[in-house]
Amino acid sequence: MNKYLDIHPEVREALANGRPVVALESTIISHGMPYPQNVETALRVEKTIRENGAVPATIAVIGGRLKAGLSEAEIEYLGKKGRGVAKTSRRDLPVLVARGLDGATTVATTMIIASMAGIKVFATGGVGGVHRGAETTMDISADLEELAQTPVMVICAGAKSILDLGLTLEYLETKGVPVIGYGTEELPAFYTRRSGFKVDYRLDTPEEVADAFRAKMDMGLRGGMLVTNPIPEEYSMDPDRINAAIDQAIAEAARKGIKGKETTPFLLARVKDITGGDSLASNIQLVLNNARLASEVAKCLANG
């Protein structure tokens, strides 16, 4: 057991008894939405996982402790503190832990802490990737590198179309990360169901997804698996509308010189404003959809 890791009693008991557990990130709480909507959404996602037969484990760093599973009070704390909580990737963990600080975990850091705790399935909104213009900026999300080395399945609604989706897929292929389309042969683009880019494999049931991941683990292949689950049709946004909003937000970010870890929060906030809040409503629904699928896959793994 890692000496810096605290596992919530409910999560610890579930893991000890072979029950399904689903990890959740905390950046969506502190950086993804305003208070109190961020807390309400986080608790709603946890409730959805319980309703689908699994145990939620929201992950964060609080007071320098790596947390696998949060209390409702801790979720409230992160939500109220908002962007006062550091957005935390792999590089940030040593200093935050040493200084006893708080951190909201990205996809990469959630994978790390989930793996330490023995959690194999993680539901999120969208995964990071290769940013547009990365051939000159080298702006590539640490999420992709973590997928290449940490044995956790990430279930998401694809990659946000603020990214270069083609280069993101190429990077994942180079790193040997299987990209699965759940019920689709095409990579979902977060707010929309289609991107024009093909995934590696289409799988149609939670059992198939669990079997593929189990085989990967049994063979000792390093790294995780990316399962892309399209946003439900009724919440999918018009591609032309959302892409126009994204292009406008990217242009504003360039004019303001916004770079690095501040890029994604800025772009998502601007897209929300430009779309009159419609993108945020879609974001919430796709996270709930991913939580449901993750619960089903986690149950299949637990029963295997």
Give the DSSP H or E segment for 70.
Answer: none
Verify that 193 and 100 share a domain, yes or no. no
| Six-digit token string for 118 | 């023995």
Verify that 162 and 282 share a domain, yes or no. yes
Verify that 257 and 135 share a domain, yes or no. yes
Q: Percent of the chain having pLDDT more than 90?
A: 75
Verify that 292 and 145 share a domain, yes or no. yes
**For range 53-59, the mean pLDDT:** 98
Which residue type occupies 146? E
| Six-digit token string for 5 | 């890791």
pLDDT for residue 199 is more than 80? yes
Q: How many CB atoms lie within 10 A of CB 152?
A: 22
pLDDT for residue 135 is more than 90? no
**For range 271-294, the mean pLDDT:** 88
Verify that 59 and 108 share a domain, yes or no. yes
The pLDDT score that the predictor gives to residue 124 is 97
Verify that 139 and 258 share a domain, yes or no. yes
Between 32 and 11, the more confident residue is 11
* Mean model confidence pLDDT for the chain: 93
Verify that 304 and 244 share a domain, yes or no. yes
Verify that 162 and 286 share a domain, yes or no. yes
Verify that 104 and 134 share a domain, yes or no. no
Write the CATH number for 257: 3.40.1790.10
pLDDT for residue 134 is more than 80? no
What total number of domains does the chain contain? 2
Using alpha carbons, select from 300, 286, 297, 290 the residue that is nearest to residue 123: 290
The pLDDT score that the predictor gives to residue 242 is 81
Check if 25 is active-site: yes
Q: Band of the pLDDT at 270, cuts 50, 70, 90? A: confident
Q: Which domain holds residue 10?
A: 1-119
pLDDT for residue 82 is more than 70? yes
The pLDDT score that the predictor gives to residue 1 is 59
* 230 DSSP 8-state letter: P
Verify that 130 and 115 share a domain, yes or no. no
- CA dist., res. 125 & res. 24, Å (int): 10
Verify that 142 and 270 share a domain, yes or no. yes
Question: Among 119, 145, 161, where does a domain finish?
Answer: 119
Judge whether 156 and 227 are in contact, CB under 8 Å.
Answer: yes
Which of 25, 74, 76, 146 is an active site residue? 25
Verify that 159 and 210 share a domain, yes or no. yes
Q: Burial level of 255, CB count in 10 A (0-12/13-18/19+)?
A: exposed
pLDDT tens digit string along 233-265?
A: 999 988 888 888 888 988 898 899 887 767 777
Question: Among 57, 86, 119, where does a domain finish?
Answer: 119
Question: Among 85, 119, 153, where does a domain finish?
Answer: 119
Sign of torsion over alpha carbons 271, 272, 276, 279: positive
* 32 DSSP 8-state letter: S
**Rounded to two decimals, what is the model's pTM?**
0.93
Which of 67, 87, 120, 160 is an active site residue? 160
2-6, 133-137, 223-227: range with lowest mean pLDDT? 133-137
